[in-house]
Amino acid sequence: MDESYLMHEIKIHDKVFIPYITFEEIDYAIKRMANTIYEEHKNDVPVFVGVLNGVVMFMSDFLKRYPGECEISFLKLKSYEGTESTGKVEIVMDIPMDLTGRHVIIMEDIIDTGNTLQELYRILDTKNTKSIKIATLLYKPEAYKKNLNIDLIALTIPDKFVVGYGLDYDGLGRNLPDIYQIKTEE
């Protein structure tokens, strides 16, 4: 990865990525999402449950934009190897918080096939919450294979691999402030 803070083509491991969504566009979409959630949760204290590691940038920027009271918690799942979903979701770290009677909002960096989301929903569904909503920064409708309704989507993207703003390609690229899309031969 070289000169990663400039908006031009970059190489990560063996693949080339092109600038795709700027931080300004991301920030605008996040602000809109924060206000929408606040309108629905003005009168309660929701718990935002982030899925590590990919959600770190989105979660911290989202929280700065959320104008009401809230709590946060995290869990860690693993489903990807390289640029392909393995279809197998592994819990690496469970949520260390009692969610009984709470309004929970799942915060995802990206919903691709929906495998991770379905597993996450199954875990949270056993925790006697008052409600569960799903919020995601990025959503790939062409790749999504599940029936769960996604309540809040910041940005909808085509079925192409992306990195940056928390998202990685085999560990690298998470610290890029903007989102980059894989460059494929036409």
Strand order in the sheet with 10-12: 10-12, 15-21, 179-182, 162-163
- Site for ligand XMP contains 4 (CB under 6 A): no
Instruction: Name the site residues for Mg ion (rule: CB under 5 A).
Output: 54, 109
Q: Which is nearer to Mg ion, 41 or 57 (CB)?
A: 57
Residues 100, 56, 140, CA angle at the centre, nearest 5°?
Answer: 90
- Site for ligand XMP contains 85 (CB under 6 A): yes
- Measured from the CB of residue 104, what is the shortest distance to Mg ion in angstroms? 17
Q: Which residues are identified as catalytic?
A: 112
Lookup: tokens for 163? 């990195």
Residue with tokens 């890029």: 176
Contacts with ligand XMP, 7-36, as mask; x by CB under 6 A: ------------------------------
Residues of this chain, 40-79, that bind ligand XMP according to CB under 6 A: 51, 54, 79
Strand order in the sheet with 71-81: 84-93, 71-81, 47-52, 103-111, 131-139, 152-156
Residue whose CB is nearest to Mg ion in the complex, by number: 54
